[in-house]
Structure 1
């Protein structure tokens, strides 16, 4: 493991056969918000913290328990043993100079731990949606992706690839990560939504709703939205009300 990227695991855990969910820092932060919903709703346990020069430093309170004395940083790993799912939450944009090295390290780390699948959640600019009469969600997957049959049944719209290179406009590092997965023959599914900047928490709920159709971590016999628990940190998304003194 590269000394440039440091992983601190808080306990030993067998991740063989798990699915890794990772967000790309993108327009509206939809992927990150969706991962927040997963971590909070499934009461996932923090497995590791990650340091890398590719990560802009962030330090703050525990976003899922404001009464906790623990601190959170730019990149952390959370685990749900009952659902065989692990989430790599990224809370800051990547420094482009080191991005590829960091993503390669992420993939090699989880390959060593025998992860079975990877699902990347991201978003794209709303004005890039050329088929506005269809669902705002799109997908892209590697040839060896194990979710192919489920996606065929869902009749989702596939990402329209550019003839010159793979691009998801506004999607952050999603396509770079996808190409690295392909190079390493690691199954990867990208799910993204066209959206605009603003209050993107509804987009995150929609993202988890669609994710649950291919990765059923919530009870499908019940209303999924009743099973989702927004993290405590969402109360602070837009800060406090405007001070009356300014008027």
Structure 2
């Protein structure tokens, strides 16, 4: 399986942090990445195609005044914050997922990417300690964020004997394992949630992410710096017709 990587410019990505959403319950990681891309006005620098990706094509989700089209898997960057986002808009085809993620990670390493942050979610009913934060994290020994997170006193993901499992979390644990194999610094951040209106979950996830990456201006209110993508207007379709009542 060959990864088709269509570059839209020759960006130098050395030293950047790559944020990758895992398609999971509530799509919290994807929504959080949407917020990042829109709020930082990130530039699309590549489109990625593979048999592991469900073929999807649509209008630009961040700008309705353009004729550009968007694909299922695209790469965005913010030079000022040295962040790239690999946005995925559909689940990976299971039997090709491992090969796809390994090739993506290899591309990142070739580009000089500094570390990986995986955003995902897990089923709300899997949260065993009810009175604790709904957020959990997992960080490998190569990550520079380890000490910072310990200072924040976040709750760490519980690792069981059978390995790392984030139920409902998509490919997050798989990519994390690949990062360990290839000695790549990696952090997983996830939230327990249910299906429904998960926009508030995405806002909270950005708040947690900002605590570590320091993306936004600390002298201003965070919510005032976040810009919802135009495409969010269509998340739940139109309201029901009044005539049915």
Fold match (TM-score > 0.5)? yes
Instruction: Choose from 180, 185, 188 the match for 2:186.
Output: 188
Tell me what 1:51 maps to: 49
User: How many Å apart are 1:246 and its aligned residue?
Assistant: 3.6
Q: Distance in 2 between matches of 1:163 and 1:130?
A: 17
User: How many Å apart are 1:245 and its aligned residue?
Assistant: 3.9
Name the SS for the 1:193 alignment partner: strand
Tell me what 2:66 maps to: 68
Name the SS for the 2:19 alignment partner: strand
| Alignment gaps of 5+ in structure 2 | none
User: How many Å apart are 1:131 and its aligned residue?
Assistant: 1.0
User: How many Å apart are 1:16 and its aligned residue?
Assistant: 0.5
| Alignment gaps of 5+ in structure 1 | none
Q: Distance in 2 between matches of 1:164 and 1:239?
A: 41
1:90-105 alignment runs, 5 A limit? 90-105=88-103
Tell me what 1:176 maps to: 174
1:10-25 alignment runs, 5 A limit? 10-25=8-23
Tell me what 2:226 maps to: 228
Q: Distance in 2 between matches of 1:129 and 1:81?
A: 37
User: How many Å apart are 1:51 and its aligned residue?
Assistant: 0.2
1:112 aligns with 2:110: yes
Please report the TM-score for the alignment, with normalisation by the length of structure 2.
0.98
User: How many Å apart are 1:30 and its aligned residue?
Assistant: 0.1
Q: Distance in 2 between matches of 1:48 and 1:237?
A: 25
Aligned-pair Cα RMSD in Å: 0.8
Name the SS for the 2:122 alignment partner: strand
| Count of matched residue positions in the alignment of Structure 1 and Structure 2 | 245
Instruction: Choose from 30, 54, 75 the match for 2:28.
Output: 30
Q: Distance in 2 between matches of 1:220 and 1:20?
A: 22
User: How many Å apart are 1:93 and its aligned residue?
Assistant: 0.4
Instruction: Choose from 158, 183, 204 the match for 1:206.
Output: 204
Instruction: Choose from 238, 241, 245 the match for 1:240.
Output: 238
Tell me what 2:165 maps to: 167
